[in-house]
Amino acid sequence: MTATDWATRADWRLREAHTLGPWAMHSADSAGRVHPEPAHPFRAPYQRDRDRIVHSAAFRRLAHKTQVFTGDHGDYHRSRLTHTLEVTSIARTLARALSLNEDLVETLALGHDIGHPPLGHAGEDTLAELLAAEGGFNHNAQALRIMELLEFRSAGFPGLNLSREVLDAQATRKRDGRAPAPLLETQVVDAADSIAYDTHDADDAIELGLVSLDELLELPLVAEAAARAREHSGGSSGGALRRAVLHQLVDLQVGDVVAESRAAIDRLEVDSVARVRAVFDGGDGVRGVRIVSHSAALAAAKKQLEIFLFQRVYRSERVMTVRKAVQRRLSDLFQWYVDHPDELPVRFRARAADCGVPRSTADYIAGMTDRFLEQDCARRL
């Protein structure tokens, strides 16, 4: 066969037709882009969306934004970028197991956290309070704002001009009631996000000495993962046991989601994207039914882990002490720019005429990395 023959066989339309389930979002059925563009000769639409996110400034800045543990500048614990890559890895595994569109799933996973401000959840909560009179602040809404307005890839229009399915998925994540019911690809990313942060926040908390592995082993879900780890790796202990437990904790949750979701697809006779949307929209009498989900038993055990992490980690005295200090700095910097709008970069000053100084200030600060925010505080305050 010639190179052209192989290229024809590798065409994304043919590939998707042969590998995706009827419940998956096929690229050929995309609603297109807000600003029409000619098709690429060999890259599928969602592949192009993924590349636009990866090459964006907002994505690069995730490398220097805190995931959870603000102020602990160690090399081990997660940044927003490493968390995003871990979510993407899990999401792709789920997508392949469920015969979904991996290009779309990867795009949604890589873009799901680009709206996060510096300083982790402390930064988001602070901006939400400061913008209470302006409609609030939410990282999912901010991600959509970045995709549609703040990033630039063309002189002709703002935003990244992503496919409508990507924008709809992000609108769903920000709880926009006008957004279409979530595709299975969107549901997969939400599940992967939950699996990643529950598991890896526990890992980081152990590394930072906030909890011990023994304490986590008292939780049923972690205990089950430990039993599987010992079965697979024998009598490991210490760091080896911890790594094995965390691996099994991810694998246990992923396996449960795959089994439960496959069963739901069969039980609900899901044979199209329209059926996926109908199930969520209440076609069976219940609004908000997600086909991609955990079993009831694992969801309950997972909830116990999340309660433990909230009480012992996210609200620990050590974390809260640092949180209060960084929130004061961010709040002071925000107010400084509101009082001195001429000090905002040119494009943020120009946008303030349309959206107001507080919102434009929030756009600027939300785009900062933790390090840049600290440097700017030192210059301004």
Q: What are phi and psi of 262, to 5 degrees?
A: -60, -40
Q: What is the mean pLDDT of residues 232-248?
A: 80
Burial label for 361, CB within 10 Å (0-12, 13-18, 19+), is: buried
What is the band of 174 on the pLDDT scale with cuts at 50, 70, 90?
confident
Of 55-59, 320-324, 331-335, which range is least confident?
320-324
- State residue 234's pLDDT score: 65
Arithmetic mean of pLDDT over the chain: 91
Task: Give the separation between CA 239 and CA 328, rounded to whole angstroms.
Answer: 37
For the chain, percent of residues with pLDDT exceeding 90: 76
* 284-319 pLDDT, tens digit each: 555 688 999 999 999 999 999 999 999 999 989 988
Residue reference for tokens 């929030």:
362
Better-scored residue on pLDDT, 293 or 73: 293
- State residue 45's pLDDT score: 96
Task: Give the separation between CA 381 and CA 65, rounded to whole angstroms.
Answer: 21
* 315-332 pLDDT, tens digit each: 899 889 988 999 999 999
Task: Give the separation between CA 42 and CA 9, rounded to whole angstroms.
Answer: 12
Residue 356 has pLDDT above 90, yes or no: yes
What is the band of 268 on the pLDDT scale with cuts at 50, 70, 90?
very high
Better-scored residue on pLDDT, 27 or 5: 27
Task: Give the separation between CA 84 and CA 116, rounded to whole angstroms.
Answer: 11
* 243-262 pLDDT, tens digit each: 999 999 999 999 999 999 99
What is the band of 202 on the pLDDT scale with cuts at 50, 70, 90?
very high
The residue segments making up the domain with residue 59 are: 3-380
- State residue 122's pLDDT score: 92
Residue 342 has pLDDT above 80, yes or no: yes
Distances (CA, A) of 206 to 4, 7, 143, 195, 222: 53, 49, 30, 17, 13
* 157-168 pLDDT, tens digit each: 899 999 999 999
Which residues, at least 6 apart from 118, have a Cβ–Cβ distance to it below 8 Å?
Answer: 65, 66, 330, 365, 366, 368, 369, 370, 372, 373
The two structure tokens encoding residue 66: 């805190």
The two structure tokens encoding residue 197: 């942060």
- Look up residue 368 and give its amino acid: M
- State residue 235's pLDDT score: 63
* 83-105 pLDDT, tens digit each: 999 999 999 999 999 999 999 99
- State residue 233's pLDDT score: 72
Of 79-88, 100-109, 223-232, which range is least confident?
223-232
Task: Give the separation between CA 235 and CA 136, rounded to whole angstroms.
Answer: 51
The two structure tokens encoding residue 317: 């005295």
Domain with 283 in it: what CATH number? 1.10.3210.10
Closest Cα to residue 124, out of 65, 168, 194?
65
Burial label for 3, CB within 10 Å (0-12, 13-18, 19+), is: exposed
- State residue 67's pLDDT score: 76
Number of structural domains the chain divides into: 1
Q: How many residues does the chain have?
A: 381
Residue 73 has pLDDT above 60, yes or no: no
Q: What is the mean pLDDT of residues 177-192?
A: 93
Task: Give the separation between CA 137 and CA 331, rounded to whole angstroms.
Answer: 14
- State residue 165's pLDDT score: 97
Report whether 170 contacts 138 (CB < 8 A).
no
Residue 8 has pLDDT above 60, yes or no: no
Contacts made by residues 240-245, CB under 8 angstroms, sequence distance 24+: 241/213, 242/203, 242/206, 242/213, 245/213, 245/216, 245/217
* 124-145 pLDDT, tens digit each: 999 999 999 999 999 999 999 9
Report whether 370 contacts 64 (CB < 8 A).
yes
